[in-house]
Structure 1
Amino acid sequence: MRSPYVWGIIYFFMGCLFVYFAIQQNTRTGQWDFFTIALMALAAYDFMVSYRYFTFKKRVKRKNKE
């Protein structure tokens, strides 16, 4: 199993990709449609999961230190 740090990086990268796709969709259509909002929601979810993995890594590191 990979470390939480690696999973955090993967989810952060996926969130960045979804933000990029949402920006491209918004500039193509010029308005906020359902697909753009759905992409931004997926990006927000990926950033949240990434943050949780990074904080989990800190907790594991602190626990192992004790």
Structure 2
Amino acid sequence: MIKIDKNIPMPPKERTGRPSKFPFPDLELGDSFLLEFRERTLKYYWERKLARKFELRKTPEGLRVWRVK
């Protein structure tokens, strides 16, 4: 029979994989960066992951992402 242990703290989850090349987590309110048009759907992923709000706008330089909340 396998013994069940109680009150053993779980170690923190180790981050695996490569770091993101997009600065969504580092944006402060009003900050922005340029994004490739084909990567525009990342906005929705990062909004859910970080519980923040981002807006996309076309500019002469390309597609720009702003953090708004």
TM-score by length of 2: 0.26
Bigger Rg, which one: 2
The structure whose RCO (Cα within 8 Å, separation 6+) is larger is 1
Higher helix share: 1
Higher strand share: 2
